[in-house]
Amino acid sequence: MSESPIRPSESLRHVRYEIRGRLAHRAHELERQGYEIISLNIGNPGAFGLRTPETMRLAMIENLAEADGYCHQKGIFPAREAVVMQQQARGVTGVTAEEVFIGNGVSELINLVLRALLDDSDEVLVPSPDYPLWSAAVTLNGGRAVHYPCRPENGFVPDPEQIARLITPRTRALVIINPNNPTGAVYPRAVLEALARLAERAGLVVFSDEIYDQMVYDGAEFIPMATLVHETLCATLSGLSKVYRACGYRVGWAVFSGQTRAAAEYLAAIDLLSSLRLCSNVLAQWAVQTALGGYQSIRDLVSPGGRLYESRRTIHGAVSRSRFLRLKEAPRGAMYAFIGVDTAELPAFDDQRFALDLLEQKHVLVAPGVSFNVPYRNHFRITSLPDSATLQEVFARIDDLLSAYAGAPPAADNVVHVPKRLA
């Protein structure tokens, strides 16, 4: 009897997450063959030796006996109250623990808040480039992601007037990612205020993804969106993964502020969905209070001399010296750079072909720009988590490949080490 194929759901037809897609699978194959791959496709601090603060680990150990059973679907009270205190310290008013939902990372919460909101064909305004989970989650929950441009020539900062022209009667929400992944842009106050007024006039829910809130450089100012949005609902999403280098703990939170009374039915729907998954990781929630109330070691990493600051400076310097690469300014926030390739030098450049060639020939894994829902094909994203020496090696390999594309020899000061199998 012939076997009938088992087909996946049609709802996945337009869902993409190339950061862990075909290129990442090929990288794993090469590693199994014995090759050393420098993986810059994911912002995973632990993979680059950036450890979670010890106090957070101790907090979990001390509360291990309290983590055997389910907790409330919104999360343990000490974690939610710690999030409230952080928001209050930032000037956000009217928030209690009842408006805080703890999830298995921000990723789970993105899905929950969209599932509770969207009906078929509802529209959500999402930045381009975006963190692709936002677009995927909108699609999976029956909606349509409408991408608003954050152009390279404008430092990847959005234009509120352009966004206003995209609003239709089906538009339900506006997604803001600040500090931004993948570009590292930090949005000015005037832009955020304009976006707040736009959302209030149109009655849009504001989803503010602020997972990189304390990762800012050289005096860049992070403005919490919840301090600006008052006449509509604002959901602030953040967590332990990036600032506290605890990706594997899978702890995130969504805090609702602004017009919460008018959103009572919507918040009840999120509570229902939270109940259906019982609760999020209880043990790791015990690290939240210690993380938010303790010493903020991220400040050491993003200050001059700190690991992230110096890696960012290395990236900007390498791009500035390259004949082929372009970056208007050093990223002002987060842990990434969204780097352009000069198509005047390489007219036939294609980001996906480049990413595959870089992996196969130079054993460096990056994410092509098209993965982030942009209409152009001459960008790629790397994380700034590696140390400066590793990044210098990476850019030597990149420049060597691009020089081969152009039929030109690499720069004399770029010493390229041929990737080898592990001994």
In sequence order, what DSSP letters do the residues of 51-102 get, joined into one string?
PPPHHHHHHHHHTGGGGSS---TT--HHHHHHHHHHHHHTT--S--GGGEEE
Q: d(Cα 237, Cα 294) in Å, to the nearest integer?
A: 20
- The fraction of the chain above a pLDDT of 70, given in percent, is 96
pLDDT at 14: 76
Closest CA to 251 of 87, 104, 68, 78: 104
Q: What angle do CA 320, 322, 325 make, to 5 degrees?
A: 85
Question: Nearest CA to 206 among 265, 121, 125, 143?
Answer: 125
Largest CA distance in the chain: 68
3-state secondary structure of 116: coil
Nearest to 244 by CA among 185, 288, 281: 288
Look at 336 and 9; give whichever has higher pLDDT.
Answer: 336
Read off the pLDDT of residues 107-121 as tens digits, 9 standing for 90 and up: 999 999 999 999 999
Two structure tokens written together for 399: 């420049």
Runs of H (alpha helix) within 338-422: 351-362, 388-406
- What domains are there in the chain, each with its CATH number? 10-50+300-406 (3.90.1150.10), 54-293 (3.40.640.10)
Q: In whole angstroms, how far apart are CA 94 and each of 109, 222, 227, 261, 268?
A: 21, 21, 11, 11, 18
Can you tell me the distance from the alpha carbon of 212 to that of 331, in angstroms, rounded to the nearest whole number? 13
- CA-angle at 67, arms to 62 and 71, nearest 5°: 135
Band of the pLDDT at 418, cuts 50, 70, 90?
Answer: very low
Q: Whats the size of the chain, residue-wise? A: 423
Rounded Cα distance between 364 and 367, Å, is 10
Average pLDDT over residues 329-333: 95
CA dihedral 96, 243, 60, 271 (to 10 degrees): 40
Angle made by CA atoms 284, 114, 187, in degrees to the nearest 5: 80
Share of the chain above pLDDT 90, in %: 91
Tokens of 181: 């992944």
CB 407 within 8 A of CB 167: no
Give pLDDT tens digits for 118-151: 999 999 999 999 999 999 999 999 999 999 999 9
CA 411 to chain centroid: 33
Tokens describing residue 322: 């390259």
Residue 156, both tokens: 């990847």
Q: Are 327 and 318 in contact (CB under 8 A)?
A: no
pLDDT (average), residues 266-281: 97
Region 9-16: mean pLDDT is 78
Query: Stretch 165-187: mean pLDDT, rounded?
Result: 98
Which residues are paired to 175 by β-bridges? 207
Q: Which amino acid is at 304?
A: P
Q: Determine the pLDDT at residue 78.
A: 97
Which pLDDT value is given to residue 343? 95
CA atoms within 13 A on the CB side of 289: 16
Confidence band (pLDDT; 50, 70, 90) for 11? Answer: confident
CA angle (198 as vertex; 169, 235 as ends), nearest 5: 90
Cα–Cα dist 94/260, whole Å: 9
Lowest mean pLDDT among 3-7, 32-36, 326-330: 3-7
What pLDDT was estimated at residue 9? 81
pLDDT value of residue 168: 98
Write down the mean pLDDT value for the chain: 94
- Show the tokens assigned to 26: 């090929």
pTM of the entire structure?
Answer: 0.93
Cα of 282 vs its chain's centroid, Å: 24
Structure-token match 């409230």, residue found: 84
pLDDT score at 98: 97
8 A C-beta contact, residue 86 and residue 292:
yes
